[in-house]
Structures are given as structure tokens and as C-alpha cells.
Amino acid sequence: MTVSENNAKIIVVSAPSGCGKGTILHEVFKNTDAFYSVSCTTREPRDEDKDGETYHFMDRAGFEKIIAEDGFLEYAEYADNYYGTPRAQTEQNLAAGRDVILEIETKGAFQVKEKVPEAVLIFILPPSVKELDRRLHKRGTEKEDVIAKRIAEAVGEIEKSYKYDYVIMNDALEDAVADFETVLKAVKLGDSSADRFRADSEYSKKMIKEVLDNA
């Protein structure tokens, strides 16, 4: 993939389910003209999904055709379904000088970083694994065995968060949104104002450890 000559960036956002990633991004998008990349997936639409808005829904044959045409910037299998980022819309927006935000899981995030090292990876942490478990139970949309599987997946993803560029804790929504915007601004300006959120800072390393220890 060609790197854009302007300052437009790919911003990758990952978080285990139940971390409030959707809510944070909803707030962030009120103040940015970045492009939200709509992914393709083979999973069944949920009630709240709108084809073409939340995802482009398709069958496996359709998805595999796009893979064969090299039409994805990245793709991965997650919970028995394919998910992928269409390449063309990302490239067109970057070429037009617009930042592109990808909301994807960790395997896809690392593929993007390998292809586009300038991409910025942000991981959203829950306050603790225990709190994540509480939130998933409160949401009540999943059965006990599915919750257990999602918690196990979440722990695996949190363990990889130190390889991201930035980590943000979603304890209080307002703070998480402000922190996210601080990171976006620092990325655009190329300054050090968000360095405390860097995944390799002592502060972040301690935070990641505490989230995992509090399981």
C-alpha cells in the first residue's frame, strides 16, 4: 500500500467486547471528520445492524472472492466469522487527505501495522477483567458460556495491548473520550502531549498489569 503524501493517518482502535469502544467512538466522531471504515463480515446481522452502515454483510463465498482479488487491507477470522477492511475506501480517503479510523480486532491490527508502519494503534482497556465480566452480565445479551468465551478472548487481547502504540482506560466515559482526543491530536501534530498514554510507558505497563491481575 502506498503511504499517503499528505498527513492523513490510519488510526486502528481495538478493545475487547464490553469495553465501551462503540460509545467512545460515537462521541469522538462528533468532533472529527475522519472516515469510519465500514468492514465486511460473514457474521449474521444483529437487530441493531444496518447493512452498509455497521457492516457490509456477505456470505463466505463473497468474502473469499474479495480475498482472492486482494481487496482487503487486512482480514481475520474471529469467533468463526470473517471480518475484513476493504482496501479501496481506505486508500481513497487517505489520498484525499482524510484520516481513516478502523475498529478491528488485534490480529487485523497487527497486519495493518506491518503493511503501514505509520498507522497508529490504540487499545481501549476495561478497568479490570472483573469489571468486564460484570458489564457483560449486566448487558445480558449473551449466555453464560458465551460470556466465559468472550472473557477468555478479552484476556488474550489485553495481553497483547502492550504492542499497541497507545492504551486508554475506559473507566469513566468522559475521561476516556478526552484521552482518546488527546491521542488523536498528538498523532496529528506529531508532538509528545499524549506520551503518558504510550503503551510502553511505565504508567501504561502498570495499568495493563493491574487490569489483568484483577481478573
Which residue has the closest beta carbon to ligand 5GP?
Answer: 108
Residues in the chain: 215
Exactly one of 39, 42, 93, 204 binds ligand 5GP (CB under 6 A); that residue is: 39
Rounded least distance, CB 192 to ligand 5GP, Å: 28
Binding flag, residue 103, ligand 5GP (CB under 6 A): yes
Quickly count: other Cβ atoms within 10 Å of residue 96's Cβ.
11
The interface region with ligand 5GP, picked from 98-106, 137-145, 190-198, 205-213 by CB under 6 A, is: 98-106
Told to check if 161 binds ligand 5GP by CB under 6 A, we report no
Q: Is 204 in the site for ligand 5GP (CB under 6 A)?
A: no
78 touches ligand 5GP (CB under 6 A): yes
Judged by DSSP in three states, 142 sits in coil
What is the distance between the alpha carbons of residues 95 and 41, in angstroms, rounded to a whole number? Answer: 25
Please report which residue ranges of the chain form alpha helices under DSSP H: 21-28, 60-68, 87-95, 106-115, 129-139, 144-159, 173-189, 202-213
- Segment near ligand 5GP (CB under 6 A), from 27-35, 83-91, 138-146, 180-188? 83-91
Shortest distance, CB of residue 153 to ligand 5GP, whole angstroms?
Answer: 9
Q: Alpha-carbon distance 91 to 102, whole Å?
A: 13
Distance CA 100, CA 76 (A): 19
Contact residues: ligand 5GP, CB under 6 A: 17, 39, 43, 74-76, 78, 83-85, 103-105, 107-108
